[in-house]
Structure 1
Amino acid sequence: MKLRPVLLVVLLLSGFYYVTTHSSSTGRLFPWLHPASDADTGSNTTSVSGPGGSFQLTEASAAPAFDTEEQQNIAVYKKALPSVVNITSTEVAFDFFYGSVPQQGQGSGFILTKEGLILTNNHVIGNAERLEVMLSDKHKYKARRLAADNNHDLALIKIDAPNLTPVTLSNSRDLVVGQRVYAIGNPFGLNGTMTRGIISAIRSIRGPQGNPIEDAIQTDAAVNPGNSGGPLLNSRGEVIGITTMIASNGADQSSGIGFAIPIDTARAMLDDYAKYGYIRRPTLDIVTLPIGPDIAEQIGLPADYGILIERLLPGGAAEKAGLHGGTQRAYQGNIPVMLGGDLIVAMDGQEITSPQDLSAAMNSHRAGDTVTITIFRGRKRMDVKVTLGDARNQQQASSAQST
C-alpha cells in the first residue's frame, strides 16, 4: 500500500519526461511549446561562408504587405508625382567688372491643365530671363511666363509638352487643424521628394516679399528651399495649398514650421486669367503714408492709426469717388510727404491701421467691386463708396507705394 503513491509519482514523472522530450519537438500535443520555425516567421535562413568564416543570415521569404497608412502614403505619391515639376530660373547678374554672370535658382510647381499651364510662386521665377521645367520623367522643356500676382506671390507659366497629367484641385475653406497633409517638391534640388505632416494652424502671415497671406496653412511637414511653389496635398492627393515659405529662424532649412498659400486664393487669380487673360488686382489708385501715434500727434490728426492719402493717381478709383489727397508739403526726415489728405481708418467696417491691413482687406475683392471706405476729413468722420480700379502693372504700383 505504501508503494502505490511512490509508483504513481514515478509514473507521472515518466509521462512528463516523455511528453517534453518527444511530443514537444513535433508540437503535436503542445504547439505553444514548439519553437518558432522559419515557416512560422516568414523568413529563411541561409548560410554564407568565405575566407572570414561562415555564418547564417535570416532573410524575409517575401515582402510584407503594406499597412493601411503606408498604402495611403503610396497612393498619394503615385497620384500627385506626375503633376509636380522642377523649375529652374536663370537671371543675368553682373560681377565687379560688369561682366554678365548667369545665376540660377530652383523651385517647384504643379501642372494645372493638359495644355501645360503650371502654377508656382512668383518668387520662384522672379525676374528670370530663362525658365526651364523638368517633369517627373526627367524630360525638360522651356517655359514662358504668362501672368503674375505679386501681392499673393503667385505666378502662371506654360510649357508645350505632350501627355501631361494635371493635378486635382480641392478647396481650402474647410481645412481643420490636425488634418494630415503631404508636401511634394524638389528640396535642395532633390526631385520628387515627399514629406508628411499635419495642419498645425491656419493664420495670417507675411510672405517672402512682405505681402500679407490670409488664412495661410501652417504645417509641420518638412519644407526646405526648393519646395516653394510645390503642392500641399490632402490625404486624397488633392491640392489644398501652394507651399511658399518656412519659418527658419536664421537657418536655411526646415524647422518644422512651413506655410502654404491656400488654393482658394489661387483660384481667384486663375479665374481672372481665364476671363481677362491677365490678373486683375483691385486698387484704390492712391499713394499713402502710414500713420502711428507719434505722427498723428505731431500733425494733429483725429485718430492715431490709419493711412493718410498723400496723392491720388489721375483718373483712378479714389479720385473718381471724391477722396482727397494731400495739399501741404512737409518732410519726414529727408523724405518729402504731402499732408492734409483724407485719413483712411476702415474698409467695409474692418479697421485699417497700416498699408498691410488695407492690402489684406483688398485681397477679398476684385477690380470693379464697390467698397465702403471710412475716412477722417479734418475732424469729420465719413463713409465713401469707392469702385475699385484695376492695377494691371504691379511693378509700377509697388514702386509707387500705391494700394
Structure 2
Amino acid sequence: MNRWRKRWWMGVVTAACLLALACPQARALTEDEKNNIELYRQLSPGVVNITSTVLERDFFFNIVPRQGAGSGSIISEEGYILTNHHVIEDARKLEVTLANGKKYAAKFIGSDPNTDIAVIKIDAPKKDLVVIPMGSSRDLKVGQKVLAIGNPFGLGQTLTTGIISSVGRTLRSPGGALVEDVIQTDASINPGNSGGPLIDSSGKMIGVNTAIFSPTGANVGIGFAIPVDTVKQVVRELIEKGYYGYPWLGATLMTLFPDFAEALQLSVNRGAMIVEVVPGGPADKAGLRGGHARAQVGNYVLIVGGDVIVGIDGEPVDSADDLMRALRRYRPGNRVRLDVVHWEGDRDRVTVILGERPRRYRYR
C-alpha cells in the first residue's frame, strides 16, 4: 500500500509540474518594468539606424568604400536627426533606416567635432517620424534611472537600462576639445549605439550616447553621454549655419605650473601662459603678448616671455583648461576682462572682444 501511495503522489506531482509548464501563470510586472516597456513602446520608433559610406584606400592604394553604422534620434517633424559627429565623419553617403524598415537617403546639415554632435536630415512623411522630446540635464542625480535606446544594425531597436553613475565628467572629443558635464552611466552602450538617446524615466532625452570606456572594446559598464543642455545649444546653430561658432581669444596657451614658475623666477606660480598670439586676432588687438624666447626647464623646452592670464571677469584662472572652460560660457563678440601678469611682473586688466574661432573642418 505504501508503495502504491508513493507512486500515486509522484504521478500527481509530475502532472502538476507538466500542467504548470504548459499553462504558466503570468507574473505580475513591477512598476519599473512597466515604465521600461511603455517608454520603449513610445520612443523606440524615434530611434533610427544610420549607415555611412566612407571612401578609403586599401592595401594596394585603391579607393574602396567602407560602411559604418550608428544610431540617431528624430528631433523634429521636418526630418532632422541628431547623432554623433564620429558616426557621420567623412561620409560620402548617408542612409537612414526607420523603425518601420523604410530607408531614406540623408543630407548632411552640420557637425561639431568638439562636442561630437551632428545633425542630418531626411525627407520622410510626418506620419513616419516619431520625435524624441528633449528634457534637461541640469539637475541630474547620481543613481537616477536611465534608458539607452539604439538601432545599431538596422534590424530593430535595442534597449538597455541602468543608472547615472556620475555627472560632471570631462571627456575629450574626437575634435580634441574637452567636453564638460558629461554624463557617465552603467547602461550598456554597445557598438553601433553611438548617437542614440539616453532617456530618463519620464521619457525625455537627457543625453546623446557617445562612447564607452573599455581596454578591450567590450562594454564594461562605463558609458558616456553628451548632456542634452549642451546638445540643444549646439544643434540650434548647426541647423541654422551648419557649424557651431566658438568664442576665440586668438592665442596659444599653456598651463603655468609652480615648478616652471619657480625655475623661471616669475612673480606668479599658476595661470594660463600665452605662448603665441595670432596676428590681428582678439588677443593681439587687445595688446596681449606671446613668448619671444626659449628656455629649458628640466626636460621641457618652453616658449617664454608671454603674458600670464590669472583671471577672467573676476574668476581665478589656474590653468589653460580653466580659461578654456570659462570662455565657453561666452559667445563671439562678447567682451571679457582678463587679469594679466606681464613677464616683467606688472599686473594689468585687459578687455578683449572675443572673435569667432576659425573653422578647422570643412564639410560638404
Q: One-letter code of the match for 2:134?
A: L
Q: In the alignment, which of 32, 35, 39 is matched to residue 72 of structure 1? A: 35
Question: Does the CA-based 8 Å contact 2:110-2:241 persist in structure 1?
Answer: no
User: Aligned runs of 1:186-197 on 2, under 5 Å?
Assistant: 186-187=151-152, 191-197=156-162
Q: One-letter code of the match for 2:101?
A: K
- Per the alignment, residue 149 of structure 1 pairs with 112
Question: Does the CA-based 8 Å contact 1:187-1:223 persist in structure 2?
Answer: no
Identity of aligned residues (%): 44
Q: Deviations for 1:105-156, whole angstroms, at most 9, x for unmatched residues?
A: 2221111111111111112222222222221122222222222222212111
Equivalent residue of 2:275, what SS? strand
Measured at CA, do residues 160 and 325 of structure 1 come closer, stay the same or move farther in structure 2, by a change above 3 Å?
Answer: same
Measured at CA, do residues 56 and 201 of structure 1 come closer, stay the same or move farther in structure 2, by a change above 3 Å?
Answer: closer
Measured at CA, do residues 138 and 356 of structure 1 come closer, stay the same or move farther in structure 2, by a change above 3 Å?
Answer: farther
What is the alpha-carbon distance in structure 1 between the residues aligned to residue 114 and residue 267 of structure 2? 30
Q: One-letter code of the match for 1:231?
A: P
Give yes or no for the alignment of 1:325 onto 2:290. yes
Give yes or no for the alignment of 1:315 onto 2:280. yes
Q: Deviations for 1:307-356, whole angstroms, at most 9, x for unmatched residues?
A: 32233223322223222223336789999975322122333344444443
Q: Deviations for 1:44-95, whole angstroms, at most 9, x for unmatched residues?
A: 979xxxxxxxx76732277555442222111111121111111222222212
Q: One-letter code of the match for 2:267?
A: P
TM-score (norm 1): 0.76
Greater Cα offset, 356-365 or 175-184 = 356-365
- Per the alignment, residue 238 of structure 1 pairs with 204
Q: One-letter code of the match for 2:293?
A: Q
Equivalent residue of 2:32, what SS? helix
- Per the alignment, residue 374 of structure 1 pairs with 339
Instruction: Report the Cα offset of residue 288 of structure 1.
Output: 2.7
Give yes or no for the alignment of 1:268 onto 2:233. yes
| Higher RCO, 1 vs 2 (CA within 8 Å, ≥6 residues apart) | 2
Q: Deviations for 1:237-264, whole angstroms, at most 9, x for unmatched residues?
A: 110111111121x021211121111100
User: Aligned runs of 1:222-301 on 2, under 5 Å?
Assistant: 222-248=188-214, 250-273=215-238, 276=241, 278-301=243-266
What is the alpha-carbon distance in structure 2 between the residues aligned to residue 126 and residue 302 of structure 1? 46
Question: Does the CA-based 8 Å contact 2:57-2:63 persist in structure 1?
Answer: yes
4+ residue segments displaced more than 4 Å: 61-65, 187-190, 274-277, 329-338
Larger Rg: 1
What is the alpha-carbon distance in structure 1 between the residues aligned to residue 134 and residue 360 of structure 2? 27
Aligned length: 346
Q: In the alignment, which of 297, 300, 310 is matched to residue 345 of structure 1? A: 310
Equivalent residue of 2:22, what SS? strand
- Per the alignment, residue 142 of structure 2 pairs with 177
Measured at CA, do residues 57 and 199 of structure 1 come closer, stay the same or move farther in structure 2, by a change above 3 Å?
Answer: closer
Question: Does the CA-based 8 Å contact 2:55-2:63 persist in structure 1?
Answer: yes
Give yes or no for the alignment of 1:140 onto 2:103. yes
Give yes or no for the alignment of 1:128 onto 2:91. yes
Equivalent residue of 1:177, what SS? coil
Q: One-letter code of the match for 1:370?
A: R
- Per the alignment, residue 168 of structure 2 pairs with 203
Q: One-letter code of the match for 2:245?
A: R
Measured at CA, do residues 314 and 171 of structure 1 come closer, stay the same or move farther in structure 2, by a change above 3 Å?
Answer: same
- Per the alignment, residue 23 of structure 1 pairs with none
What is the alpha-carbon distance in structure 1 between the residues aligned to residue 157 and residue 83 of structure 2? 16
Equivalent residue of 1:101, what SS? strand
Question: Does the CA-based 8 Å contact 1:204-1:212 persist in structure 2?
Answer: no
- Per the alignment, residue 83 of structure 1 pairs with 46
Q: One-letter code of the match for 1:96?
A: F
